[in-house]
Amino acid sequence: MKLRKTLFMKLSRNQIQTVSKFSNLEEKNVNSLLKKNVYASESDWIRFIKIGLLGLGAAFTLSGIVFFFAYNWNDMHKFFKLALNMSIIIAGVSAILFVKFNLTVNKIILTGISILIGVFLAVFGQIYQTGANSFDFFLGWAIFIVIWVLISDFPPLWLIFIILLNTTFITYTQQYGTDWEFEMILNVLFLINVIILTLLIFLHSKTILKNLPEWFSKTIAIFSISAITLSLIIGVSDNYSHTVLISIGLALFLYVPGMYYGIKKRNLFYLAIIPFSIILVIASLLLRITDEAVADMYLIVSLFTIGSITLLIRQIISLRKKWKVINNNEKIIHTN
Amino acid sequence: MEENQDIKNLITEISITEGDGFNYQEEIIKKDLLLNEDQPGLLIKVISILGGFWACITFFGFLMLAGLYESENGMIIIGAIFYIAVIIGNRYIKNIVLDTASVSTYLVAIGLIGFALIQREVELNYVFIIMILLAVITVIVTESKVLNFIAILIFSGHIQALIIYNEANNLLHVYNIVYVGFTTFVLMNEAKIISFSKKMNELYSPLRIGLLFSLVGGFVFLGVKGIFDTEIAYVWVTSGVIVLLVLYFVYKVIISLKINNSKTRLALLISSALILLPSIFAPAICGAVLIILLTYHQKYKTGLGLGIISLIYFIIQFYYDLELKLIEKSIILFLSGVLFIVAYVFIKRILLKGDHSDIKS
**Per-residue confidence at B353, pLDDT binned at 50, 70, 90?**
low
**Ramachandran bin of B322, using left for φ above 0, alpha for ψ from -120 to 50, beta for the remaining angles:** beta
Q: Which residues contact B290 (CB under 8 A, 6 or more apart)?
A: B180, B184, B242, B245, B246, B249
Q: Give the distance, in angstroms, between the CA of residue B169 and the centroid of all CA atoms in the same chain.
A: 22
Distance of residue B101 Cα from the nearest chain A Cα, in angstroms? 9
Answer yes or no: is pLDDT of B39 > 70.
no
**Strand partners of residue B266:** none
Mutation target among B57, B59, B100, B194 for the A interface, most CBs of A within 10 A: B194
Mean pLDDT, residues A59-67 taken together: 81
Decide: helix, strand or coil at residue B24.
strand
Quick one: A214 exposed, middle or buried, by C-beta within 10 A (0-12, 13-18, 19+)?
Answer: exposed
ipTM value: 0.77
B36 vs A149, higher pLDDT: A149
Considering only residues A14 and A48, tell me which one the structure prediction assigns the higher pLDDT: A48
Angle separating helix axes A103-128 and A134-152, nearest 10 degrees: 160
Where residue A251 falls among pLDDT bands split at 50, 70, 90? confident
What's the whole-number mean pLDDT along residues A119-142?
82
* Whether A24 and B299 lie within 8 Å, measured CB to CB: no
The string of pLDDT tens digits covering residues A29-43 is: 788 878 888 888 888
pLDDT above 50 (res B357): no
Q: Is A29 on the interface with B (CB under 8 A)?
A: yes
**What whole-number percentage of chain A has pLDDT above 70?**
93
Point out the residue among A1, A7, A64 whose CB comes nearest to the CB of B334. Answer: A64
List, for residues B279-333, the tens digit of each pLDDT value: 777 888 889 999 999 999 988 888 999 999 999 888 888 887 777 777 778 888 8
In this structure, chain B runs to a length of 361
For residue B253, list chain A residues with Cβ-Cβ distance below 8 A: 45
Cross-chain CB nearest to A22 (options B25, B47, B66): B25
pLDDT above 90: residue A57: no
> Cβ contact (<8 Å) for B36 and A31?
no
pLDDT at A239 over 70: no
Of residues B182 and A331, which shows the higher confidence score? B182
Within 8 A by CB and 6+ apart from A14, the residues are: B33, B36
List the single residue in A with minimal CA-CA distance to B20: A1
Question: Quick one: pLDDT at residue A336?
Answer: 65
Q: Which residues of chain A make contact with B197, given a CB cutoff of 8 A?
A: none
According to DSSP, the residues that pair with A23 across neighbouring strands are B24
Chain A contact present for B164, CB below 8 A: no
> Which of A54, A273, A306 lies closest to B97 in CB terms?
A306
Which of A21, A273, A298 is opposite residue B62, by nearest beta carbon? A298
pLDDT at B156: 93
Query: Residue A324: which pLDDT band, with cuts at 50, 70 and 90?
Result: confident
How many Å apart are CA A296 and CA A74, to the nearest integer? Answer: 62
**Cα–Cα distance, B357 to B257 (Å, whole number):** 13
- Closest-CA residue of chain A to B9: A9
Q: Which of A23-32, A254-263, B347-356 has the highest mean pLDDT?
A: A254-263
pLDDT of residue A289: 75
Chain B nearest-CA residue for A310:
B97
* Beta-bridge partner residues of B24: A23
Partners of A60 on chain B (C-beta within 8 Å) are 333-334, 336-337, 340
pLDDT digits (tens, 9 = 90+) for B106-133: 888 888 888 888 888 888 888 899 999 9
Do the Cβ atoms of B191 and A34 come within 8 Å?
yes
Query: How would you write chain A as a 3-class SS string?
Result: CCCCCCCCCCCCHHHHHHHHHCECCCHHHHHHHHHHHCCCCHHHHHHHHHHHHHHHHHHHHHHHHHHHHHHHHHHCCHHHHHHHHHHHHHHHHHHHHHCCCCHHHHHHHHHHHHHHHHHHHHHHHHHHCCCCCHHHHHHHHHHHHHHHHHHHCCHHHHHHHHHHHHHHHHHHHHHCCCCCCHHHHHHHHHHHHHHHHHHHHHHHHCCCCCCCCHHHHHHHHHHHHHHHHHHHHHHHHCCCCHHHHHHHHHHHHHHHHHHHHHHHHCCHHHHHHHHHHHHHHHHHHHHHHCCCCCHHHHHHHHHHHHHHHHHHHHHHHHHHHHHHHHHHHHHHHHHC
Q: Which of residues 41-100 of A touch B (CB under 8 A)?
A: 41-42, 44-46, 48-50, 53-54, 56-68, 70-71
Q: What is the pLDDT of residue B23?
A: 63
Instruction: Give the DSSP H/E element, type plus range, for residue B67.
Output: none
- Which pLDDT tens digit goes with each residue over A78-96? 788 888 888 888 888 888 8
pLDDT > 90 fraction of chain B, expressed in percent and rounded: 15
Closest-CA distance, B25 to chain A, in angstroms, reads: 6
pLDDT above 60 for A190: yes
- Region B255-278: mean pLDDT is 76
Radius of gyration of chain A (CA): 28
Residue B280's CB is within 10 A of a number of other CB atoms, namely 15
Q: What is the pLDDT of residue B182?
A: 92
In a 10 Å sphere around its CB, with 0-12 CB exposed, 13-18 middle and 19+ buried, how is residue B361 labelled? exposed
Taken in order B52, B55, B57, B59, is the CA torsion positive or negative?
A: negative
B151 pLDDT tier (thresholds 50, 70, 90): very high
Q: Are B176 and B116 in contact (CB under 8 A)?
A: no
Angstrom distance (rounded) from CA B341 to CA B346: 8
With an 8 Å Cβ cutoff, is A26 touching chain B?
Answer: yes
pLDDT value at B180 more than 80: yes
Hey, are the CB atoms on A71 and B55 less than 8 Å from each other?
A: no
Q: Is B324 strand, coil or helix?
A: coil
Contact criterion met (CB < 8 Å) for A301 and B299: no
Of residues A33, A57, A305, nearest to B337 (C-beta): A57
Rounded distance between C-alpha atoms, residue B190 and residue B203, angstroms: 11
More confident residue, B155 or B12: B155
Q: Which long-range contacts (CB under 8 A, 24 or more apart) does B22-26 make?
A: B22/A23, B22/A24, B22/A25, B23/A23, B23/A24, B24/A19, B24/A22, B24/A23, B24/A24, B25/A22, B25/A23
Under an 8 A CB cutoff, do B330 and A71 touch?
A: yes
pLDDT above 70 for B25: no
Q: Is A242 on the interface with B (CB under 8 A)?
A: no
Question: Is the pLDDT confidence value at A193 over 50?
Answer: yes
Q: What is residue B358's predicted lDDT score, i.e. its pLDDT?
A: 44
Check residue A2 and give its pLDDT: 38
> CA neighbours within 13 Å on the CB side: how many for A267?
16
Weakest-pLDDT range from A29-43, B232-246, B252-266: B252-266
Smallest CA–CA separation between B125 and chain A, in Å? Answer: 34
B interface test, pick of A26, A29, A309, A332 with most B CB neighbours within 10 Å: A309
Average pLDDT, chain B: 80
- The answer to whether the CB of A218 falls within 8 A of the CB of A269 is yes
The alpha carbon of residue B320 is apart from the nearest alpha carbon of chain A, in Å, by 11
Q: How far is CA B256 from CA A210, A294, B288, B314, in A?
A: 49, 65, 23, 31
- The minimal CB distance from B344 to the residues A18, A44, A54 is found for A54
Residues for chain A: how many in total? Answer: 336
* Cβ-nearest to B348 among A50, A65, A294: A50
Q: What is the 3-state secondary structure (H, E, C) of A316-332?
A: HHHHHHHHHHHHHHHHH
Q: What is the pLDDT of residues B222-232, one digit of tens each?
A: 766 555 566 67
Q: Where does the pLDDT of residue A151 fall: very low under 50, low under 70, confident under 90, or very high at 90 and above?
A: confident
A24 touches chain B (CB under 8 A): yes
Residues of B with Cβ-Cβ distance to A33 under 8 angstroms? 14
Closest-approach residue (CA) in chain B for A34: B191
Q: Between A26 and A110, where is the model more confident?
A: A110
- In this prediction, residues A169-184 reach a mean pLDDT of 79
Which residues 76-135 of B have a C-beta within 8 angstroms of A?
A: 95-98, 101
CA separation, residue A252 to residues A183, A244, A248, A275, B135 (Å): 16, 12, 6, 12, 48
* C-beta atoms of A49 and B347 within 8 A: yes
- Nearest-Cα distance to chain A for B29, in Å, is 6
Q: Exposed, middle or buried: residue A5 (CB in 10 Å: 0-12, 13-18, 19+)?
A: exposed
DSSP B227: T
- State the distance between the two ends of chain B, measured CA to CA, in whole angstroms: 38
Q: CB-based burial of residue B265 (10 Å sphere; 0-12 exposed, 13-18 middle, 19+ buried)?
A: middle
For B106-165, the DSSP string reads HHHHHHHHHHHHHHTT--HHHHHHHHHHHHHHHHHH---HHHHHHHHHHHHHHHHHHHHH
Cα–Cα distance, A238 to B124 (Å, whole number): 42
Q: Is the four-CA dihedral B316, B318, B321, B327 of positive or negative sign?
A: negative
- For A188-198, letters b (16+ CB in 10 Å) and e give bbbbbbbebbe
List of chain A residues whose C-beta atoms are within 8 Å of the C-beta of residue B21: 24
Chain A CB contacts of B207 under 8 Å are: none
Q: Chain A residues with CB inside 8 Å of B65's CB?
A: 293-295, 298
| Least Cα separation, residue B169 to chain A (angstroms) | 32
Q: How far apart are CA A232 and CA A242, in angstroms?
A: 12
